[in-house]
Amino acid sequence: MQDDLIVVAGGGGFIGGHLVAELLRRGHRNVRSIDIKPLGEWYQVFDEAENVVADLKERETCLFACRDAREVYNLAADMGGMGFIENNKALCMLSVLINTHLLMASQESGVERYFYASSACVYNADKQRSADVAPLKEEDAYPAMAEDGYGWEKLFSERMCRHFREDYGLTTRVARFHNVYGPYGTWEGGREKAPAAVCRKVLHAQATGVHEIEIWGDGNQTRSFMYIDDCIRGIDRIMHSEIEEPINLGSSELVSINGLVDLVEDIVGVKLRRTYNLSAPKGVNGRNSDNTKIQRYLGWEPDTRLRDGMEKTCEWIRDQYLAKSALQAGVA
């Protein structure tokens, strides 16, 4: 089975790059990594993989991608942090073409197993109005009131996976990711999520001596954040399980954005004056992962402490920040 073809859609992205790395580490010798970004913009590139630059929204690309594959992991999507998804709803919705065409191609090509990366953004907004939120159970996605744009595309694509399983016998597995973070991810430019954005802002404040930070919203909104290593382990466990319905994949360690800033300040060793941009996108007031089901099915859940994961993430972003600053200084 080490020679069977495994396809990672979105392999040039944050999670996809880590997944390709793990598959190669485990000895898989036939990994096809596909992404729309130019190769120079991939977060991680591995010579041992077949690296393909192509648009998976196109049906012909998906037919090529899935040809002779045993497993397909769909991590490809136009997405980013709250600022990006609130301002690019149509673009996020167009990711439905990727999942639709990959499912069709997988079914036609005889793929054995298909993984779809969904999101906690599918959950009913009425369940997320309080910062002191009850952890979200899988059934809380219905009655449907998903995050506009991005969340609706994810919910619809989950249903597509279900019906391809029911109607065509394609083995599909779906995980609802809760805020994945870690090294080799987006840390600037507008698509970054809260952990990377906070690290960058705190490091910038330390480097410039301007000890201030702008926080989107009032900082009391709460989230849980899952470290990338836990995410990759969870993908593997879910893909090779008998769990047919969508399932949460996220940490249950809840923190406010203010608390996240406190944590990063402590890691970096600086204290900042805070300003709050109440007109900026902030998402729902509270969101946390109920891990009862994954514990029951697999006897497992993500277990990396937020502080441990954030220390590694801050260290990586510090290196990227310093390298970019040195390059800019050299150009100047």
Residue 168's H or E segment, with its range, is helix 150-168
Phi, psi values for residue 105, rounded to 5°: -65, -40
The answer to whether the bond into 143 is cis (omega within 30° of 0) is: yes
The Cα-based distances of 199 to 132, 217, 269, 277 in angstroms read: 24, 17, 12, 18
Decide if 189 contacts 131 (C-beta within 8 A). no
The residues pairing with 51 across neighbouring beta strands, listed in sequence order, are: 33
Decide if 294 contacts 248 (C-beta within 8 A). yes
Taken as a whole, the chain contains a residue count of 332
Give catalytic status of residue 227 as yes or no: no
Among candidate residues 43, 114, 116, 150, the one labeled active-site is 150
Decide if 178 contacts 249 (C-beta within 8 A). yes
Q: Which residues form the catalytic set?
A: 150
